């Protein structure tokens, strides 16, 4: 047998890599996840005007502004507002975080509000129901796949 074979690991051969296609960059980059926290972008300005009521309501809800030094992976292009100079602000939106418990409670509250509104709409619709021409209120979807013919 031949003993002068070269190890495959020592061979320097080029690997063919599929050419990467262009993708549009994210408008709002995703921060590195932190265990126990949820991130949310909060509007601080709209059409060049500061939106103080929105910011204060979000802070009262429990969202905390994220410091830029805590997430250096998010490249800051410009700081639009001197008040939030040390926070992550991109395009009039400031990155905030809140504990998962608060975010889950908030989501449950708004889900209950949506269900209550749908229940009210259904009751209003069924109030107009006539036995001679009944209304159908089916909120079911069905997915079917064709047989290709």
Same structural domain, 80 and 53:
yes
Same structural domain, 81 and 124:
no
Q: Is residue 81 part of a domain?
A: yes
Tokens of 29: 């980059």
How does pLDDT run along the chain (149 residues), one tens digit per residue?
A: 556 776 666 665 555 667 788 878 777 888 888 899 999 999 988 887 888 899 999 999 899 998 888 888 776 654 555 677 788 888 888 899 999 999 999 999 999 999 999 898 888 877 777 777 666 666 667 777 777 66
Find the domain containing 105 and state its range. Answer: 100-128
Q: State pTM to two decimals.
A: 0.61
Closest to 71 in 3D by CA, of 27, 42, 34, 44: 34
Same structural domain, 59 and 72:
yes
Length of the chain: 149
Q: Is residue 56 part of a domain?
A: yes
Same structural domain, 42 and 93:
yes
CA–CA distances in Å: residue 126 to residues 14, 116, 132, 136 = 70, 15, 13, 9
């Amino acid at each position: 047998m031949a003993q002068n074979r070269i190890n495959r690991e020592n061979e320097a051969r080029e690997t063919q890599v599929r050419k990467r296609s262009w993708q549009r960059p994210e408008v709002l980059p995703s921060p590195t996840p932190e265990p126990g926290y949820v991130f949310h972008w909060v509007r601080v300005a709209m059409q060049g005007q500061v939106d103080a009521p929105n910011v204060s309501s979000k802070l009262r809800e429990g969202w905390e502004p994220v410091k830029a030094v805590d997430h250096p992976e998010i490249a800051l292009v410009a700081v639009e507002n001197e008040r939030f100079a040390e926070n992550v602000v991109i395009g009039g939106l400031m990155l905030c975080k809140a504990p998962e418990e608060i975010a889950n409670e908030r989501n449950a509250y708004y889900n209950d509000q949506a269900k209550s509104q749908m229940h009210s709409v259904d009751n209003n619709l069924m109030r107009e129901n006539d036995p001679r021409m009944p209304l159908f209120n089916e909120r079911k979807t069905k997915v079917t796949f064709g047989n290709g013919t």
